[in-house]
Amino acid sequence: MIRRLAALVLGLVAAATPALGRDKVVFGTNWLAQAEHGGFYQAVADGTYAKYGLDVEIRMGGPQVNHALLLAAGKIDFNMGGESYGALNYVENDIPVRAIASIFQKEPRVMIAHPDTGVTDLKSLKGRPILLSKDALQTFWLWMKRTQGLTDDQIRPYNFSAAPFLADKKMIMQGYLSSEPYTVAQAGIKPVVLLLADYGDNTYSTTIEARQDLLDKNPDLVQRFVDATIIGWKNYLHGDPAAGNALIKAANPEMTDDQIAYAIKVLNEHGIAESGDALTLGIGAMTDARWKSFFDDTVAAGIYPATLDLKRAYTLDFVNKGVGLH
């Protein structure tokens, strides 16, 4: 039934914008459909991709889906990356894939604490137990230790359940700005939310990744996909997101209107997509200076060797053109 509903909604969109003469593109997301993917769905739903001559199929990610692997294997055309680590991992493993845009200027990673427990900033997390995933231990936790003076004895295993946090007022929990704080609030707790990006964690986030062969053979298609995606995000964050939200809920019925509205609200309030370089260069902006700054931090943390060829991780050819600014 759910699949039939999703197919019906997507079919209605396709009927409104015939695919004749358009270039077929397959884009894989990094998780289940949600507001944090809203601009991509909006560009399908409101005809923006069609206007740019594209017939875009969005394939939803999830716990059993590895779109990064499918991209590398040539099974999809574009992939939604996570943080900048992903692009560096491609280089380290000699995989010819590059980040071509960064939709989020700030990674929405947060630390969540109970109210009235003395937590005011990241340094005040010293000595407190922190729920962290396995991936965290190889990425942003290394940055937190080095810059905030935190220690490994604080680590508690995080299995993406809020229950241990809710049961212990001293507990700190990793989360996503638009997700876990909402869940905790539904349990009657107004959490203290610390956005790592506000403390200097300068990874890019929600990147668009593509294989080098596509960049070489069809740069026009790549440019149209990037430009249309930027417009889709502009429309989603500042226009009427109803069309995009309908596709999100069809693909992932667990999403509620209230949770989607909350996510859009905090994405805008914190400048997740529109801050820093994006204010003058447009959504999706990236710069050499910021990539180097992030890379230098990872080298200092011992994540990557200083000899890694950073320039192979990304290209600026398709961004920083002011699309959507006016």
Buried b (16+ CB within 10 A) or exposed e, 114-148: beeeebeebebbeebbbbbeeebeebbbbbbeebb
C-alpha span between 218 and 236 (Å, rounded): 27
Domain enclosing residue 136, as ranges: 109-199
Together in a domain, 207 and 305: yes
- How many folded domains does the chain comprise? 2
Shared-domain flag, residues 99 and 207: yes
Contact 321, 231 (CB under 8 A): no
Looking at the structure, tell me whether residues 95 and 212 fall in a common domain: yes
Q: What is the Cα–Cα distance from 324 to 322, expressed in whole angstroms?
A: 6
DSSP code of residue 124: G
Alpha carbon distance 163, 177 (integer Å): 18
Average of per-residue pLDDT values in the chain: 93
Model's pTM, two decimal places? Answer: 0.90
The pLDDT value recorded for residue 281 is: 98
In this prediction, residue 8 carries a pLDDT of 41
The neighbouring-strand residues paired with 195 are 110
Domain match, 37 and 65 both = yes
Residue ending a domain, among 179, 199, 219, is 199
User: Which pLDDT value is given to residue 20?
Assistant: 62
Residue 178 DSSP code? T
Q: Do 208 and 92 share a structural domain? A: yes
Q: What is the mean pLDDT of each run of 10 residues along the chain (326 residues)?
A: 43 46 96 97 98 98 93 97 95 98 98 97 97 93 94 96 96 96 94 97 97 98 98 98 98 96 97 98 98 95 95 98 92
Domain end, chosen from 199, 223, 242, is at 199
50 with 137, same domain?
A: no
Tell me if 320 is assigned to some domain.
Answer: no
pLDDT tens for residues 43-99? Answer: 999 999 999 999 999 999 988 899 999 999 999 999 999 899 999 999 999 999 999
Q: Are residues 156 and 231 in the same domain?
A: no
C-alpha span between 190 and 185 (Å, rounded)? 5
